[in-house]
Structure formats: structure tokens, C-alpha cells
Amino acid sequence: MVARRPLLISHRTHMGTMPENTLAGIDEAIADGVDGIEIDVRALADGTVVLMHDATLERTVGDPRPLGALRLGELRGMRVRDPQGRVGLQPVPTLAEALARIGAPVVPVIDLCERGLAAGVAREVAEAGCAGRCRLTGPDAEELLAVRARLPGARATLSVPLEAGAAGLHEALARARARRLDGVNPDHRLLDAALLAAARASGLEVTTWTVNDRSRMARLVSLGVDSITTDLPLITAGISQ
């Protein structure tokens, strides 16, 4: 029996080959035929939700200030570095701009990187008309629930980092089940067949990140995960189509 192919998700807008969390990365991911695009979101001082993984701009922009201290007008003059040197410096997009670029049927996977985003994220997703294909993820169950409550049809999975260990992953499964989330989204190194079976028994999806090794990806496909997030989606060519 051939394993069902999981959804293939581009991590931080193709960050393996493009500047992370940028419109250029979104365009590249779509051109490469991914099923979904993961974007990280945080809020500015004026409440605007933008794409950024870190709490400060130091790593990606070269400015040490915290993102939450800036307003959109200030951010507009800043540029995300291009580590691969392919497309040059890129602007920091708003969530609204990103969702406008991620057209159907591509799935927007929104990683909630901090608390207090529920109203802003829900508003932008609703205005973009993509709640029914949107997926939410993050480590905070209450924040996920707050957004999902405003977005009928959106699905929410609880992220689990590697440092949580096996015990933390089983705790996350119990929390997701108790809070009626749709699934768990652990670091791929925490996953095995027993965990998949436990999740399925609880009616939970299992998505995973960030998988850049072809053999590991093939193993996860055989286990039957629901989606795989990767920096390099094209390495999956030929795996259980």
C-alpha cells in the first residue's frame, strides 16, 4: 500500500533559497508547486500584523530594535537580508499583503509567534476570504483558540519544540485533545509510529517541521503525517506522489 502524500509546506516562505517571510519567497514557493506556505507573524506598536519570526529585527534586517516598538511607517523603510544573494533586499510584508499573494488553492499556514494577535490575525484572514483553507499553529493553545474562535473553518495545531521531549509531546497531545484543537505540530525528531498512533486514536492531525533531509522525509511519509514543513520543498521530488 502506497502511503498518502502529506501536504508539502514551504517553511518561512522558502527560506532555504529565498529571504524568509517575504513576498519574493511566497512567489517562489508557489512557482515550485507547494501545497501550503508557512508564515510567522507578530504585531507592530500600531497593531499591524506583519511577517517576522524573531521578536527583534537584528537577525533578518540588521536593526536591534524590537519589532513591537515600531510602527508600519518606520518598518516600510527597512529591508530583509537575502542570505542566498538571489533577489536582493526585500521589504517586510504585512499579513494582509502576504494573504493577498497566497491565492487558492495554496494553504496559508500562520505561525502565531506571540500573544495578543487574535483580533488582528482574524481580521486579516477574514478580509482575505481564506479562513476555510487557513491553518494556524503555535505553542500557545489559548492564543490558537482565540484566533480560531473568530475564524470558522480554520484549523489549529499546537506546536511542540524539540526541547519539550517525548514527555512534552504527550502532554501536548493531551492538551490538544482537551482543548479541542485539530492537531499537534511537533519537531520531526520527536515523531515515531507510536506517537502517530496515539494521535490518530485521539482524532488529531499530526503535522511536522522542519524537514530538509530526503530520507527522513520519506520515513515521515511512510508514517502517514498530514503535512511536512521544509525549507527546501523540491527535495521531495519523487517521494510517494
pLDDT at residue 241, as a whole number: 35
C-alpha distances (whole Å) from 11 to each of 1, 14, 36, 208 are 29, 6, 9, 11
Asked whether 102 and 108 are in contact (CB, 8 A), the reply is: yes
Which domains are seen in the chain, by residue range? 7-236 (3.20.20.190)
Percent of the chain surpassing pLDDT 70: 96
Residue 239 above 80 pLDDT? Answer: no
pLDDT in tens, 194-223: 999 999 999 999 999 999 999 999 999 999
Phi, psi of 64 (to 5 degrees): -75, -5
pLDDT in tens, 127-164: 999 999 999 999 999 999 999 999 989 999 999 999 99
What global pTM score does this model have?
0.96
